[in-house]
Each structure stands twice: as structure tokens, then as C-alpha cells.
């Protein structure tokens, strides 16, 4: 039997690598995509492409989509994982127009354009789309104005696509809280007290790890979950349930 194909964008990041690895071990043919020209994941095929270019580039079909179809070959495209994202921090006063537009292009427009382009193949395979959202779509903090807005819109896009594409294609969103990626750990280097406070803020008593995100992704993409669509699944260690007040 021919393996089903899954495309994972942002495949070189911590979460992307974990999703690629989990899909590969579960028997998928995995195509990775990243703006970094060198693959660092266990994908079967790798495509170098910067999704920041997808909105303006006249050759998006040639430079991106046709490469995906060639990489998939005879493997039916059954899953699209829109994982690639940028996180540019800045307050309302600080955020630059170009930073705002790049955030929306990568985090919101690219998932829509990729979904549109691969829709005929996903329909034929009765596949699904998984958008990687964030707890910042629901509750955020200072200087996340661009990122939080893009993720809130991505959650809304998930629900709208699920309604629009059902029952042929399922569409879901996986929204993690703080996850132990190399990027996060680098940001807390030398800040053990702050890192401990971040972990303690989660009712689970710790932050999540990339493998937990990957296992949740496998569940949402599984063929035996046909009734799961339009779902925004918060993998948040309980942090969205905690009320922080002055008391």
C-alpha cells in the first residue's frame, strides 16, 4: 500500500521536527518545508521555500506547489500541517508595518494559500488540514500584538475552513502553550528564576515538550477521528484555566 503524504511547513523548528518524526514513525511519507535551505528533520523529501514570499511571488505555483507535487510523487497528499510561523515582538508603538505584514503573511495568509493550492489533492484523499495555533490567540501579554493577532485570526480561519470544506476535508487547530524548543530555552539562558516561574504558572507544573505537541498532531490527523473538525485544541498545561489577579 502506498503511504499517504503529509506536508509540514516550518519543518526545521523544534515543533516541526517533532511532528515530522512522529508522522514518519507512524507510516506517513513526509515532505518538509522550511526557509532554512538545509533540512534538519527526518522528512522523506525537503523543499526549501520561504513562505513570506507566497503572497507577492508571481511564481508561487512553480516555485512552491509544483515542487510539493513532484516530491509527493505517487503518494496521495492526505495532510497539510501549517506549522511555519514568525514571532516578531513589539508593542503597539514599536511594531513596524513591515513586521506586521510579514507576521500576517507567514502566520495567516500562507496557511490559506497552501490550503487552496493543495485542496484538490486533500479532497481526493479525504484528508485534513492542521493549523498550529497558540494560546496567544486566547490570552496574550505585552509586546505580542502582531503574533497574538495573527494566531487569533488563524483560529478563526480554522473554523471557517472546517465549515467551508466539510465534509470532504477536516480542518483543525492545535494551540500549544510554552513548549521547550531550542528557541525558548535560548531565551531563558541564565534566567533560571524566570524559567521556574514560567513552569510554575502552568497548573501542570511545567512547560510542554515538542513530542507532546507531535502526539496531539497525530491524533488530530488520524483517520479514526472523522468527527473531529473545526476544533481548536489547546495543549496548554492548564494555563488558560488559571486566573491571575492581584489577590
Residue 64's contacts (CB-CB under 8 Å, 6 or more residues apart) are 47, 49, 54, 117
Task: Give the cell for residue 214.
Answer: 507531535
User: How far is it, in rounded angstroms, from Cα 24 to Cα 20?
Assistant: 6
| 98 neighbors 86 (Cβ within 8 angstroms) | no
| 122 neighbors 65 (Cβ within 8 angstroms) | no
Pairing of strands 77-82, 232-235: unpaired
Give the CA distances from residue 86 to residues 54, 101, 112, 184, 201, in Å, rounded to whole numbers and listed in that order.
Answer: 14, 11, 16, 13, 24
- Which residue of the set 29, 147, 195, 234 is catalytic? 147
49 catalytic, yes or no?
A: no
Task: Give the cell for residue 158.
Answer: 480554522
Give the distance, in angstroms, between the CA of residue 71 and the centroid of all CA atoms in the same chain: 21
User: How far is it, in rounded angstroms, from Cα 69 to Cα 8?
Assistant: 14
Active-site positions? Answer: 147
Amino acid at each position: 500500500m502506498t503511504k499517504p503524504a503529509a506536508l509540514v511547513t516550518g519543518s526545521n523548528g523544534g515543533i516541526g521536527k517533532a511532528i515530522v518524526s512522529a508522522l514518519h514513525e507512524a507510516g506517513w511519507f513526509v515532505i518538509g518545508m522550511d526557509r532554512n535551505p538545509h533540512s534538519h528533520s527526518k522528512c522523506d523529501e525537503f523543499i526549501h521555500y520561504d513562505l513570506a514570499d507566497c503572497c507577492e511571488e508571481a511564481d508561487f505555483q512553480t516555485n512552491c506547489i509544483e515542487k510539493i507535487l513532484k516530491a509527493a510523487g505517487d503518494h496521495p497528499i492526505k495532510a497539510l500541517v501549517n506549522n511555519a510561523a514568525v514571532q516578531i515582538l513589539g508593542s503597539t508603538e514599536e511594531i513596524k508595518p513591515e513586521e506586521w505584514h510579514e507576521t500576517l503573511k507567514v502566520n495567516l495568509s500562507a496557511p490559506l494559500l497552501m490550503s487552496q493550492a493543495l485542496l484538490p489533492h486533500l479532497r481526493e484523499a479525504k484528508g485534513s488540514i492542521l493549523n498550529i495555533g497558540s494560546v496567544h490567540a486566547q490570552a496574550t501579554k505585552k509586546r505580542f500584538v502582531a503574533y497574538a493577532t495573527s494566531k487569533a485570526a488563524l483560529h478563526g480561519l480554522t473554523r471557517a475552513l472546517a465549515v467551508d470544506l466539510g465534509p470532504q476535508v477536516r480542518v483543525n487547530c492545535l494551540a500549544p502553550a510554552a513548549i521547550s524548543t531550542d528557541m525558548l530555552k535560548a531565551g531563558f539562558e541564565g534566567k533560571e528564576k524566570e524559567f521556574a516561574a514560567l513552569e510554575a504558572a502552568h497548573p501542570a507544573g511545567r512547560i510542554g515538550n515538542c513530542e507532546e505537541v507531535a502526539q496531539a498532531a497525530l491524533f488530530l490527523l488520524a483517520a479514526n477521528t472523522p468527527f473531529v473538525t473545526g476544533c481548536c485544541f489547546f495543549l496548554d498545561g492548564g494555563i488558560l484555566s488559571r486566573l491571575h489577579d492581584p489577590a
